[in-house]
Amino acid sequence: MESRPLRYFVAVAQELNFARAAERLGIASPPLSRAIRKLEAELGVTLFERTTHSVALTPAGEVLLTEARIALDALDAAGRRARRAADPEPKLVLAVKADADAGLLDPILAGYAADPASRPVSLRLCGWGEHTRLLREGHADAALLYEPFDHTGLDAETVTTERRVAALSAAHPLARRDSLSLADVTSGPPGEVDQFVDEVAARHRVRDLPQLLKLVELGDLVTLLPESVPARYPRPGIAYRPVPDAPPAVLAVAWPQQSRSTATAALVRAATSLRGA
């Protein structure tokens, strides 16, 4: 199994259209069509159900898509990590989303710097759910992120857990109460709080916390945040109210499972050693 046909396959599977996929790959349609047929022949499996005006994945194709993404990520990561291993002054790259650190980034870095195995740290700021991709593709050595996330190929340790607060407009009727319950906020089935939080952000096309808070201030939405946020983002127009029955927010440090780096291990030590504090 070669990697190039697999890249072609992923492109087609994403576009579900040979012409567009070919364009994205920078080749013409015919070679692409043949490459896919050859791949199907090699595997002895039909990957796409094609009619002239529609392309759909077969069950085998679905499986290959998820597996192929993993394999191709690993391939990219291999090259990138080898390159970085040749760096005479290797930096430790830590992926963090702005403000998604429970205020612990500085103490973690301070504790890390004191470790003899530590290295200079390069922060890689990233957005929603990018952490895991950066780790899997070899762009980052470690990441600081909130659960839940896809643990595939990663190891992780909990850094801290926080209670949640609801953020709502100061003018909102619920703001008059001192404390809220989960049902007041999510209005959905319980136990899906993490999904709820992600969906709120995704639905409004919000990419960072200040934007989200702006929408809250305008009364457009109510959301749940870790309790470390209010102290760092006081807003006159926003009321933060505890939600005692909401499950806690879990901040974790994650790293590629196969990592054998002592520098990464030291960072994990530094991050987890704050749990007691």
Interaction site with a copy of itself (CB under 8 A):
1-4, 6, 42-47, 58-64, 66-68, 70-71, 74-79, 81-83, 85-86, 138, 151-153, 257-258, 260
Q: Does 24 bind DNA (CB under 7 A)?
A: no
Give the full edge-to-edge strand order of the sheet including 92-96: 121-125, 92-96, 142-146, 249-256, 154-162
Task: Give the side-chain half-sphere CA count within 13 A for 147.
Answer: 18
Q: Does 151 bind DNA (CB under 7 A)?
A: no
Q: Cα separation of 112 and 94, whole Å? A: 12
Among 24-32, 100-108, 155-163, 256-264, which window interacts with DNA (CB under 7 A)?
24-32
Q: Cα separation of 103 and 267, whole Å? A: 16
φ, ψ of residue 90 to 5 degrees: the values are -65, 135
List, as one string, the DSSP characters of 128-172. TTHHHHHHHTTS-SEEEEESP---TTEEEEEEEEE-EEEEEETTS
Q: Which does 74 bind (CB under 5 to 8 A by kind): DNA, a copy of itself, none?
A: a copy of itself
Restricting to residues 40-59, which ones interact with DNA according to CB under 7 A?
50-55
Q: Cα separation of 52 and 256, whole Å? A: 42
Among 6, 11, 13, 18, binds DNA (CB under 7 A): 18
Residue 30 or 127: the one with the smaller Cβ distance to DNA is 30
Q: Does 38 bind DNA (CB under 7 A)?
A: yes
Q: How far is the CB of 87 from DNA (least distance, A)?
A: 23
Q: Which does 58 bind (CB under 5 to 8 A by kind): DNA, a copy of itself, none?
A: a copy of itself
* Peptide bond before residue 120 is cis, with ω within 30 degrees of 0: no
Q: Which residues bind DNA (CB under 7 A)?
A: 2, 4-5, 17-19, 26-38, 50-55
